[in-house]
Structure 1
Amino acid sequence: MINIANSSSVSNFRAAVSGGVDDLHGLRKALNDAETEHAWFKDKHKLIRAARMPHGGAHIFRVSLLVFLFMVETGMNAIFLATGNEQGYFGGILVAAAFSFANIGIALLVSIFCARLVTHRSWFVKSIGALFIAGYAALAVTINLGLAHYREVSESLAEGAGTIVMDRLWENTAGLEDVNSWLLFIVGLLFGIFAFIDGWFVLDPYPGYAGVEKRRNAARENYRDSKAELVEKLQEVRDEHNETVKDIIKGLGARQREHRAIVESRAKLLALFAQHQEQLERACNKLISIYREANVEAREDPATVPKYFTSQRYVLPRIKPKITSDGEWGDKELSDSIRKAQEQLNEQVRLIGEECGKSIAAYEELDRLHPDKTHG
């Protein structure tokens, strides 16, 4: 049992380490490539700060803010647009939702994918980003003015309002006649600006930096989790071996107690057998005594009584059980053998612990083969 437990644990360790090193080697190389890319990107674009990434509560807050802006703008626009809409407030909600989606959605897309180009080191890329921002500003003003014109036209027309709005935008862009229309325009523009600012903080302001940081973090997390999982498997193999050793040690103690119980039971049985033979002898002498007394009383002449009636007693031939001790261990020999086995098991536990440490060190060696090349 000791040899099987030891050889099995060593084999399991070597198999686990061999497969684990192969798996971690690829993951560590992928992490090294991601770190090299990260360092190259920072050097190329002269970045010394860490990338700004969305995390936890702040990210949830920004998403919640966008949803809140959309719902509030839709509700406010629906109140203004419900008047004159043939479907009433429900129709106003549909039109308002469409305008809010366009207003907030365009602001979000431009701020995330286009506006951040103005932070690029290249002046050409900066100019493209500036053009996108200017284009968005013009588009945002147009969308919200269109909504305000639509509100005025829809109050008096049930059909053809869209065509009239386009004509009014072309001929008299700022020709709003109702203060509520101007209020609708300003509120929509403000909500678009809020959405634009919120989208700006979704990712790092420098183009591409967030993607590089995300890839490096994903590779690092993948490597760290895989390494922790492999180390945990090694520890499970070690703990399983140690539990097996504990069971063997407990079994050795139980076998020693069983051996003592067998020896004591045998000695007790031999003593009972000797007592049984003595009891048989006493019974025989008692029966003979009864017979002789009856024989003496039946005789007329006392001189004819045999002398041995009074001088001899029956002696039962004793049977001595033969005990073969060939190959039998004494208590001292058994104790010495168990002590040596326990020492061997304890030494094996120590060796398995060392093997586990060496196996984990083999995983750590990958970090020295592929050192972290990130400069910041």
Structure 2
Amino acid sequence: MISLLICFVVCEGILNAYFFAQGSDQGLLGGFIQAAIFATVNIGFAAVQGRYTIPWVNHRNFFFKCVGGIAIFFALALIFTIALTVSHYRDATVLGVEEPAKAVINSLLNHTFQFNDITSWVLCGLTIAFGIFALFDGLKLNDSYPLYAPKYIQFEESRTQYEQEIENLRAVLTQKKDEALSNLDQYCQELKLNLVRQDSIINDKAQTQSVYENYMQQAEHTAKALLQTFRSENQLHRTDDIPAYFLDDVKLNKVELQAEYNIDHDRENIDECERNVQRLINCVEDYKNEIARTFTEQYDHFTPLTIEH
């Protein structure tokens, strides 16, 4: 919008340059400079009025609405005054008046709507038209309701901050949900692995007992064979009768192990654990659905602000 105002100044200066060039010693360049100065004043005042004072006519309060109405009247009066001043100044320069500024004041007071030629009327009309255009353009530089823009900017900043916090909370909530589901799956996998490990331990325990029994039998057979060999050799070299205990059978005393190797109780325990784990696995989907439901319920609580138009 600022660029449009600058364009208005340039256009008005170019269009009015011809009118001022007729009474300027510097020709078209001097006319353009004078026209550009008047155009800047005309468009500048009109744009300022359009941006800061006229929007008060849209205020809800009746007093401020009246202030806005007065501002419209004042803005239009100012545009017309500038247009008449510019036209009378052009007349004074064309007529070669030595002090055109004083002549303008006198003409405004005594001959307000009297110009020397039609060109001054055209100049007056162009000045009024560009002033009104600048007035409406100034209205577009800000919101049509006074003091609304700062409040709206503050609201947008607060809403942006709020929505960012909402997104952060939603991200944290999503992370918690994913962690809960992942931990549940991991817990089930660990339970299954623990059951496999326990079953392997029980099998190792049963195998250890079997190995121990086999070794004890082998030790007893070895002891009998060794003792029988000794007795046979002894009998060959003896000159008297063999002792009576040579005929006795030899039995090794079985070493009782300190550990408990009965796996029946262990099997009962692991069977009970397997049933509990299976019940948990059967309920996993229900747990996941409950987590998803709770997540959705809490997620929906964090909603961005909406504006009803």
Class of the TM-score when normalised by the shorter of the 2 chains: 0.5 to 0.7
Alignment-derived partner of residue 139 in structure 1: 81
Give the CA deviation at 1:257.
1.7
Alignment-derived partner of residue 111 in structure 2: none
Identity %: 13
Task: Name the CA distance, whole Å, in 1 between partners of 2:174 and 2:161.
Answer: 20
- Please point out which of 254, 257, 262 is paired with 2:190: 254
Alignment-derived partner of residue 40 in structure 1: none
Give the CA deviation at 1:108.
1.5
Alignment-derived partner of residue 32 in structure 1: none
User: Which residue identity is paired with 1:243?
Assistant: E
Q: What secondary structure does 2:260 align onto?
A: coil
Alignment-derived partner of residue 54 in structure 1: none
Deviations 1:116-147 (A, max 9, x none): 859x9x9x959746632541232331564588
- Please point out which of 203, 209, 225 is paired with 1:267: 203
Whether contact under 8 Å (1:69, 1:195) holds in the other structure is yes
- Please point out which of 108, 111, 126 is paired with 2:50: 111
State the Cα RMSD in Å: 6.4
Alignment-derived partner of residue 244 in structure 1: 180
> Is residue 2:262 matched to residue 1:331?
no
Whether contact under 8 Å (1:108, 1:195) holds in the other structure is yes
Query: Structure 2 unaligned runs (5+)?
Result: 109-113
Task: Name the CA distance, whole Å, in 2 between partners of 1:306 and 1:236.
Answer: 91
Deviations 1:265-287 (A, max 9, x none): 24214414532552465367457
Residues 287 and 134 of structure 1, relative CA distance in 2, 3 Å threshold: same
Whether contact under 8 Å (2:173, 2:295) holds in the other structure is no
- TM-score normalised over the length of structure 2: 0.54
Task: Name the CA distance, whole Å, in 2 between partners of 1:239 and 1:275.
Answer: 52
User: Which residue identity is paired with 2:45?
Assistant: I
The 5-angstrom pairing of residues 1-376 of structure 1 reads 62-70=1-9, 99-112=38-51, 113-114=53-54, 117=57, 125=66, 128=70, 131-142=73-84, 144-145=86-87, 164-171=99-106, 190-201=129-140, 233=169, 237=173, 240=176, 243-244=179-180, 246-272=182-208, 274-275=210-211, 278-279=214-215, 281-282=217-218, 285-286=221-222, 289=225, 293=229, 296=232, 300=236, 317=254, 319=256, 321-323=259-261, 330-341=269-280, 343=283, 346=286, 350=290, 353=293, 357=297
Whether contact under 8 Å (1:75, 1:96) holds in the other structure is yes
Whether contact under 8 Å (1:235, 1:356) holds in the other structure is no
Deviations 1:128-177 (A, max 9, x none): 4663254123233156458868998xxx9xxxxxx944224225678899
Whether contact under 8 Å (2:231, 2:246) holds in the other structure is no
Whether contact under 8 Å (2:79, 2:132) holds in the other structure is no
Whether contact under 8 Å (1:238, 1:352) holds in the other structure is no
Task: Name the CA distance, whole Å, in 1 between partners of 2:216 and 2:277.
Answer: 43
Whether contact under 8 Å (2:83, 2:128) holds in the other structure is yes
Alignment-derived partner of residue 369 in structure 1: none
Task: Name the CA distance, whole Å, in 2 between partners of 1:272 and 1:260.
Answer: 18
Task: Name the CA distance, whole Å, in 2 between partners of 1:84 and 1:276.
Answer: 130
Task: Name the CA distance, whole Å, in 1 between partners of 2:255 and 2:92.
Answer: 129
Give the CA deviation at 1:191.
3.8
User: Which residue identity is paired with 2:79?
Assistant: A
Alignment-derived partner of residue 368 in structure 1: none
Task: Name the CA distance, whole Å, in 2 between partners of 1:312 and 1:176.
Answer: 158
Task: Name the CA distance, whole Å, in 2 between partners of 1:296 and 1:67.
Answer: 133
Task: Name the CA distance, whole Å, in 1 between partners of 2:87 and 2:238.
Answer: 157
Query: Structure 1 unaligned runs (5+)?
Result: 1-61, 157-162, 364-371
Residues 238 and 111 of structure 1, relative CA distance in 2, 3 Å threshold: closer
Residues 132 and 307 of structure 1, relative CA distance in 2, 3 Å threshold: farther
Compare relative contact order (CA 8 Å, sep 6+) and give the higher one, 1 or 2: 1
Give the CA deviation at 1:322.
0.8
Deviations 1:229-251 (A, max 9, x none): 66984795486256325414421
User: Which residue identity is paired with 2:104?
Assistant: L
Q: What secondary structure does 1:322 align onto?
A: coil
Residues 197 and 176 of structure 1, relative CA distance in 2, 3 Å threshold: farther
Whether contact under 8 Å (1:111, 1:196) holds in the other structure is yes
- TM-score normalised over the length of structure 1: 0.47
Q: What secondary structure does 1:141 align onto?
A: helix
User: Which residue identity is paired with 2:137?
Assistant: D
